[in-house]
Amino acid sequence: MTDHSTPDRPAPELFTWEFASDPYPAYAWLREHAPVHRTRLPSGVEAWLVTRYADAKQALADPRLSKNPAHHDEPAHAKGKTGIPGERKAELMTHLLNIDPPDHTRLRRLVSKAFTPRRVAEFAPRVQELADDLIGRFAGTGSADLIHEFAFPLPIYAICDLLGVPREDQDDFRDWAGMMIRHGGGPRGGVARSVKKMRGYLADLIHRKRAALPPEPGPGEDLISGLIRASDHGEHLTENEAAAMAFILLFAGFETTVNLIGNGAYALLTHPGQRDRLQTSLAAGERALLETGVEELLRYDGPVEMATWRFATRPLSIGGQDIAAGDPVLVVLAAADRDPERFADPDTLDLSRRDSQHLGYGHGIHYCLGAPLARLEGQTALATLLTRFPDLRLAADPAELRWRGGLIMRGLRTLPVSFTPVP
Ligand code: HEM
């Protein structure tokens, strides 16, 4: 590990409880004094943290940084203990986030066909219905935990609908996903069992849908049917790959969106001036501030704190720092998006900020495939909350709120709120 601290500027401690609550001062220090910093992660693995915007953007698009964990030069003593997703044999599966071109290009093309912006736009009324329904369950009570009662169920039901998971099975998904989110997504114990159940269910669903697929696509055909159709039309997609694809859509699109809604609502509740502006603009029937606002919330405190793992396939240099082949690299999106070299007043939340080139959805060939769906869900969820509950307020001291201490994701465990009950 490199120690960049001096008596005048001691290095901040990373991955502590304080860090999980507010990592931004530590990121400011790293950007300034050790922008490409080798550190030991809680799992014991040593990795490079990249914190400046320009370096982060370059690293995200650098073909010498592979997504395939087989390139990790794992020291013998750490074998199997790293917690790097997909690294342990039992968890190995092929999906977009752990493969490189040309396989990545082929699979991404296939799923993009089934996941078009049109399909997402057609889905808007359903997302609104989901938001209204979930809010209806607690609107008369005057209080709620916005994470458990709203931010958590909304994305899981939305993705299940999009994939074509029948409604009667969706509560099983909610429970499996709840297990994954509660335990930080690591592939252990109950989490591994939930992942296994989900994958088994999806494999079976794909099998059943393939058998019953009509010759021509009907209106509003679900995504799994679209994937099967794409694979049946001359392009190669095995049933296993289709199941892994459905799984990664769930996995990548679920906790991220929970945290977009949770972190976003929290930021609005703790910035009353910004929230008033948004409420006034929504009351006037405008959408412009909502659209720039959700992008700004992603920049200011986005759900993905660090992009998923990358591994150097050969020696390279990032921001003047030499990186050896086999070294893991973590691009810290949350730090890059607060870089004063890139954003004016980066620590200020400004919902009308026009410069929305943040890295919250990543960059390059792995740029978030679900960004249009995430935007739709984030905008619908936050607008509906503020419209239904004009006096929505935080019902806890911000200092007492607990943040999940995961590596990749940033989000609240609970978000208690109160409001005047509405019928
Ligand atoms: C990839 C962020 C929602 C599906 C990514 C990446 C980021 C990201 C940062 C790139 C990771 C990397 O390069 O290591 C987010 C955020 C979301 C969100 C902040 C919500 C606010 C969704 C949704 C879906 C989704 C709703 C789908 C239903 C994916 C997929 C990839 C991905 C499939 C992998 C793409 C590839 O490797 O080619 N996302 N995501 N995401 N996201 Fe999202």
Scanning the structure block, which residue is given the tokens 């704190």? 305
Distance 413 CA to ligand 1 centre (A): 21
Least confident of 3-7, 64-68, 280-284, 398-402: 3-7
The finding on whether 297 has its CB within 6 A of some atom of ligand 1 is: no
**Measured from the CB, is residue 374 less than 6 Å from ligand 1?**
yes
Whether the per-residue pLDDT at 3 is higher than 70: the answer is no
Nearest CA to ligand 1 atom 38: 366
Which residue has its alpha carbon closest to ligand 1 atom 15? 361
pLDDT of 57 strictly over 60: yes
Q: Is 302 in the pocket of ligand 1 (CB under 6 A)?
A: yes
Quick one: which atom of ligand 1 is closest to the CA of 378? 21
Which residue did the predictor score with more confidence, 230 or 282?
Answer: 282
Give the residue whose CA is nearest to atom 6 of ligand 1.
368
Lowest mean pLDDT among 3-12, 90-99, 327-336, 374-383: 90-99
- Tell me how crowded residue 111 is: count the other CB atoms within 10 A of its CB: 22
Q: Which of 288, 291, 300, 305 is nearest to 264 (CA)?
A: 300
Residue 91 banded pLDDT, cuts 50, 70, 90: very low
Q: Is the CB of 85 under 6 A from ligand 1?
A: no
The pLDDT of residue 292: 97
328 touches ligand 1 (CB under 6 Å): no
Read off the pLDDT band of 198 (50, 70, 90).
Answer: confident
DSSP 74-100: --GGGTTTS--TT-SGGG----GGG--
Say yes or no to pLDDT of 422 above 50: yes
Q: From the alpha carbon of 310, which atom of ligand 1 is closest?
A: 14
pLDDT tens-digit map of 300-331? 999 999 998 999 999 999 999 999 999 999 99
Q: Which residues pair with 318 in a beta bridge?
A: 321
Task: Give residue for tokens 């792995």.
Answer: 366
Testing ligand 1's pocket by substitution, the residue of 67, 106, 366, 368 carrying the most ligand atoms inside 8 A of its CB is 368
Distance from C-alpha of 92 to C-alpha of 137, rounded to nearest angstrom: 40
Residues 181-202: b if buried by 16+ CB within 10 A, e if exposed: bebbbebeeebbebbeebbebb
Helices (H), 22-152: 24-33, 53-60, 103-114, 117-122, 124-138, 146
Contact 339, 284 (CB under 8 A): no
Backbone angles phi and psi of 10, in degrees to 5:
-65, 140
Q: How confident is the model at residue 185 (pLDDT cuts 50, 70, 90)?
A: very low
Position 177 scores a pLDDT of: 83
- Check residues 406 and 87 and name the one with the higher pLDDT: 406
- Contact between 184 and 406 under an 8 Å Cβ cutoff? The reply is yes
Sequence-distant (6+) residues with CB within 8 A of 262 are: 146, 147, 151, 411, 412, 415
Q: How far apart are CA 170 and CA 158, in angstroms?
A: 10
pLDDT at 5: 65
Q: Whose CA is nearest to atom 7 of ligand 1?
A: 361
Can you read off the two tokens belonging to residue 327? 């070294």
pLDDT digits 0-9 by tens, 236-293: 677 777 788 888 888 888 989 999 999 999 999 999 999 999 999 999 999 999 999 9
Ligand 1 pocket test, candidate residues 95, 224, 361, most atoms within 8 A of CB: 361
Question: 352 φ, ψ to 5°?
Answer: -95, 10
For residue 105, CA distances in Å to 95, 97, 347, 367 come to: 11, 12, 36, 12
pLDDT digits (tens, 9 = 90+) for 109-159: 888 877 788 888 889 999 999 999 999 999 999 999 999 999 999 999 999
* Residue 342 contacts residue 54 (beta carbons within 8 Å): yes
Burial of 411 (0-12, 13-18, 19+ CB in 10 A): buried
Residue pointed to by tokens 């919330």: 297
Which residue CA neighbors atom 30 of ligand 1 most closely?
369
Q: How far is CA 316 from the centre of its chain?
A: 28
DSSP string, 321-347: EEE-TT-EEEE-HHHHTT-TTTSSSTT
346 or 80: which carries more pLDDT confidence?
346
Give the distance (Å) from ligand 1 centre to CA of residue 232: 26
Residues 6+ apart with CB under 8 A from 194: 175, 176, 177, 179, 180
d(CA 100, CA 348): 37
Q: What ipTM, to 2 d.p.?
A: 0.98
Per the structure block, which two tokens stand in for 57? 């953007």
405 has a pLDDT exceeding 80? no
Ligand 1 centroid, distance to 261 Cα (angstroms) = 15
Q: Mind listing the domains of the chain with CATH numbers?
A: 17-418 (1.10.630.10)
Question: Quick check: helix, strand or coil at residue 47?
Answer: strand
**Which residue among 120, 173, 250, 256 has the greatest number of ligand 1 atoms within 8 angstroms of its CB, and so is best to mutate?**
256
DSSP code for 395: -
CB 261 within 8 A of CB 382: yes
- Structure-block tokens of residue 197: 């159940």
pLDDT for res 8: 65
Token reading at 107: 């699979």
Token output for 222? 């679900």
Q: What is the pLDDT of residue 189?
A: 63
CA dist 350 → 230, 267, 278, 293 (Å): 42, 11, 11, 8
Question: Quick one: tokens of 195?
Answer: 């992942």
Q: 404 CA to middle of ligand 1, Å?
A: 19
> Which residue minimizes the CA distance to atom 26 of ligand 1?
253
- Determine the Cα–Cα distance for residues 132 and 139; give it in Å rounded to an integer: 10
Q: Which ligand 1 atom minimizes the distance to the CA of 364?
A: 13
From first CA to last CA, the distance across the chain in angstroms is 58
**Which ligand 1 atom lies nearest to the CA of residue 309?**
14
